[in-house]
Amino acid sequence: MDNIETIGFETHLFECYLFVDDYLQSHPKVAGWRRSAGGDPDFTDAEVIVIALTGGYFRTDTLKRTYQLVIANTEGAFPDRAGYKQWIRRLQRLPDQVGRLVRAAALRGLAGEGRKLYAADSLPIPLCESARHGRARLLDEDGAKFGVDASGGWFYGFKIHALIHQPTQIVITAMLLAGNRSDQVAARGLARSTSGGVLLTDEGYRGEELSDWPCGQAQMLRVMPSDGSGEGHSSVSRARQQAESSFSGLWCRFSDRVYARSWHGLWTSLLLKVLHFNLDRADIVSQPVESTRD
């Protein structure tokens, strides 16, 4: 549906633009990725990214639908905007910038936060429905593989792994791996971002090769069953419940399949969803009181 609560959307759009443009203006080396001598385009990188970011507001599953909704609900906001095809080409050249914005939003949300408690989890990102598994070829050359989800069912695609800071529920880092790679492969990479803090995981991330880590990486702590007993169990159980709540808020943004026909398109789409999640958790953008989602 194309009708939304206009005032709330315009406020949301403005807040997103302030954050993105301020960051790119403050980091010219990040913004100056072009090698062309033709000067800066009238349609800026900040505008390219902000249009895509509104997919988090609309809860859309394609970038094309996001672009259509923004154009339908803004008048004069992007006077020099490019057409869809040029916009999507520009956007898919900016995953590094979007990733840096994810980190910048996280750092702002973590300002003054001294606790180092983190949780890791993963979610399958299927590229096709199960009925098409016999003909699945999309992104095969980019590493898409068959894997098993938490319920034991097969899917074809990738897994996104995320590290979330528990007190703030902010995403610190995320990784995209082939669907057949074990969670243990991602564990070390995620742990490097904890700065020696405590990392809560489920059993899928543990293995014998992770039992003797350097002290500076992370302390591994299994998420124990909530109906157990014993000294220290109640605090771990509470942390587990908080972790599950954190990830449910993030994973609901991926509840519909993320549609993309290239690896860069897929990764950029996922990063945009993570960025919007962090902007929300860090109180950088306000949530609309009421709006009509796609």
How many CB atoms within 10 Å of residue 115?
A: 12
Tell me, yes or no, whether 216 and 239 share the same domain.
Answer: yes
Tens-place pLDDT, residues 236-288 = 667 667 778 888 888 888 766 677 778 888 898 899 999 999 999 999 998 65
Between CA 115 and CA 269, with CA 104 as vertex, the angle to 5 degrees is: 115
Kindly state the DSSP code that residue 77 receives in the 8-state scheme: S
Q: What are phi and psi of 200, to 5 degrees?
A: -90, 130
Question: Is the confidence at residue 162, as pLDDT, over 50?
Answer: yes
Tell me, yes or no, whether 10 and 149 share the same domain.
Answer: no
Chain centroid offset of residue 269 CA? 8
Kindly state the DSSP code that residue 6 receives in the 8-state scheme: H
d(CA 258, CA 267): 10
Tens-place pLDDT, residues 92-136 = 889 999 999 999 999 999 988 878 888 888 999 988 877 777 776
Tell me, yes or no, whether 82 and 122 share the same domain.
Answer: no
Tell me, yes or no, whether 265 and 128 share the same domain.
Answer: yes
Percent with pLDDT over 90 in the chain = 30
Tell me, yes or no, whether 67 and 150 share the same domain.
Answer: no
Rounded to the nearest 10 degrees, the angle between the axes of helix 63-73 and helix 6-26 is 110
Residue 181 lies in a domain: yes
Q: Can you give the pTM of this predicted structure?
A: 0.84
Helix (H) or strand (E) segment spanning residue 24 = helix 6-26
* Residue bearing tokens 């394609």: 62
Count of the separate structural domains present in the chain: 2
Tell me, yes or no, whether 71 and 188 share the same domain.
Answer: no
Residue 129 lies in a domain: yes
Which domain range does residue 228 map to? 113-275
Kindly state the DSSP code that residue 207 receives in the 8-state scheme: -
Domain holding 267: CATH number?
3.30.420
